[in-house]
Structure 1
């Protein structure tokens, strides 16, 4: 797989969003989230689709550069 700067940046964003999602799950399951339940839930709700979308875009960009 050829990693371009664009696909590398998209993978970076995907990884950070996935880490935020996992961290939010742990914060919510602990019972006392640092930023409050509402904000932590909003971070979780936003980071899940962001992870999927940026991962998909990175794979599509890498595949386009193989041709």
Structure 2
């Protein structure tokens, strides 16, 4: 695997951790950063994590 794939995979992990944290914050009833900011982070982190994971898998498969 190329180093770029590892970077994408690490970014995906961070984005998914942020996604899970936002879900827990929103489900607790009172988010520390407020509903709007936490929802915005969730709306950005989830597709970013999916995109980075897919890119990492594609790069990993392309490298012989």
* TM-score (norm. length: structure 2): 0.95
For 2:40, the equivalent position in structure 1 comes to 42
Aligned with 1:14 (options 7, 12, 15): 12
The alpha carbon displacement at 1:21 in A equals 0.3
For 1:63, the equivalent position in structure 2 comes to 61
Stretches (4+) displaced over 4 A: none
Gaps of 5+ in 1: none
CA distance in 1, matches of 2:7, 2:15: 12
Gaps of 5+ in 2: none
Taking only aligned residues, the RMSD between alpha carbons, in angstroms, comes to: 0.7
For 1:30, the equivalent position in structure 2 comes to 28
Aligned residues: 64
